[in-house]
């Protein structure tokens, strides 16, 4: 099986390398020949010349780009996947985009003779590197079954969420809401503890094994205490996901009160120079108000 991989960012590059390690023949492409692109070529990927070139040399093309317009441009723009696609080409869009956009792009693909599945991921850079992402898939079950073995290389949890295109991205939005609110709750709680004079490390040790404990807490609270805001998942990308969640919720008539509140925190951080920080930097919103840092 020949795989194309488009989008070699923080997440895409290690995912591409894991496919190479698993023995797949990969043609890779990125809009710029950056260090990530270069490292994937060094690891054995064929250097794609364009999105169309990737499609021409692949049985299936994986997309890992920032947002809906980027997916549409990669597929249908000049030099796009659709231009180079052979009959029966499949697309696995692993980008996190709006569910309605995913559905619309899939419908256009079908008209062009291309089959598409949305398969957004969760887990950030560390899990992209070690191949333990959570992957949420939407689209025809036969397409999911066809590529389950490929997706197992990239994730430890690969779930078919529905036969409708966009189902995977709907689940991803639910995931991003829960992650954002969980990080904000941790930031608020640990700021409270430090202002009350309690060692945040002791707070973490005391509550992580109980009902308040979570994967998010274990991943993000140590980063907060270490003052390590190097991005595994940037504030700006989470803003994009929550914007998609809010737009979808508003369209469905679903109350989005908590999501709106955390989105305002993240937007404030973006406006104050923290957009490229990890989303654990929600803590900085509270620290700017209180003047008190959470640290070991």
**H-assigned helices in 131-225:** 141-154, 167-195, 200-207, 215-225
CA separation for the pair 200, 36 (Å, rounded): 36
Catalytic center residues:
172
- Of 163, 187, 222, the one marking the end of a domain is 163
What pLDDT sits at residue 232? 84
Which three-class secondary structure state does DSSP give residue 26? strand
216 in any annotated domain:
yes
Q: What is the CATH number of the domain that holds 199?
A: 1.10.1040.10
Provide the phi-psi class of 147: left if phi over 0, else alpha when psi is between -120 and 50, else beta.
Answer: alpha
pLDDT of residue 32: 86
185 shares a domain with 45: no
Kindly tell me the burial class for residue 11, based on how many C-beta atoms sit within 10 Å of its own C-beta (0-12, 13-18, 19 or more). buried
pLDDT, one tens digit for every residue, the chain (296 residues): 999 999 999 999 999 999 999 999 999 999 988 899 999 999 999 999 999 999 999 999 999 999 999 999 999 999 999 999 998 999 999 999 999 999 999 999 999 999 999 999 998 888 999 999 999 999 999 999 999 999 999 999 999 999 999 999 999 999 999 999 999 999 999 999 999 999 999 999 999 999 999 999 999 999 999 999 998 889 999 999 999 999 999 999 999 999 999 999 999 999 999 999 999 999 999 999 999 999 99
Q: Which residue from 142, 100, 141, 139 is spatially nearest to 119, judged by alpha carbons?
A: 139
DSSP assignment of 85-138:
PPTT-EEEE-S---HHHHHHHHHHHHHTT-EEEE--EESHHHHHHHT-EEEEEE
Do residues 15 and 125 both lie within one domain?
A: yes
Look at residues 128, 163, 198 and tell me which one is the last residue of a structural domain.
Answer: 163
Residues 133 and 181 in one domain: no
In a domain, 296, yes or no: no
Q: Which residues of 213-237 are buried (b: 16+ CB within 10 A; e: fewer)?
A: ebebbebbbebbbeeebebbbbbbb
Together in a domain, 178 and 264: yes
- Nearest partner of 188 among 292, 296, 272, judged by Cα: 292
295: in domain:
no
In this structure, the strands spanning 25-29 and 2-6 are parallel
In a domain, 23, yes or no: yes
Three-point CA angle 150, 156, 157, nearest 5°: 95
Total tally of structural domains belonging to the chain: 2
Angle CA 164–59–83, to nearest 5:
85
pTM of the model: 0.90
Residue 10 lies in a domain: yes
Range of the domain at 201: 170-290
Q: Which one of 163, 192, 216 terminates a domain?
A: 163
CATH number of the domain residue 43 falls in: 3.40.50.720
């Amino acid at each position: 099986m020949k795989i194309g991989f488009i989008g070699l960012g923080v997440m895409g590059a290690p995912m591409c390398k894991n496919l190479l390690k698993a023995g797949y023949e990969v043609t890779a492409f990125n809009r710029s020949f950056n260090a990530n692109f270069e490292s994937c070529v060094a690891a054995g990927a064929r250097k794609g010349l364009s999105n169309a070139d990737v499609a021409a040399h692949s049985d299936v093309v994986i997309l890992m780009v920032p947002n809906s317009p980027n997916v549409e441009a990669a597929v249908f723009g000049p030099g796009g996947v659709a231009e180079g696609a052979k009959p029966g080409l499949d697309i696995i869009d692993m980008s996190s985009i709006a569910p309605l956009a995913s559905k619309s792009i899939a419908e256009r693909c079908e008209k062009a003779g291309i089959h598409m599945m949305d398969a957004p991921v969760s887990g950030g850079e560390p899990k992209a590197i070690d191949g333990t992402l959570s992957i949420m898939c939407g689209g025809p079950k036969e397409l999911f079954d066809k590529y389950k073995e490929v997706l197992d290389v990239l994730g430890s949890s690969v779930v078919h969420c529905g036969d409708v295109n966009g189902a995977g991205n709907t689940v991803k939005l639910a995931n991003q809401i829960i992650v954002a609110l969980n990080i904000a709750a941790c930031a608020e709680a640990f700021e409270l503890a430090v202002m009350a004079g309690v060692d945040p490390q002791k707070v973490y040790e005391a509550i992580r094994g109980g009902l308040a404990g979570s994967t998010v807490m274990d991943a993000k609270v140590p980063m907060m205490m270490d003052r390590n805001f190097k991005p595994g998942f940037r504030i700006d990308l989470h803003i994009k996901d929550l914007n998609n969640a809010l737009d979808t919720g508003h369209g469905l008539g679903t109350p989005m009160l908590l999501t709106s509140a955390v989105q305002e925190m993240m937007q404030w951080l973006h406006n104050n120079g923290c957009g490229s920080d990890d989303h654990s930097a929600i803590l900085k919103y509270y620290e700017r108000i209180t003047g008190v840092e959470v640290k070991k």
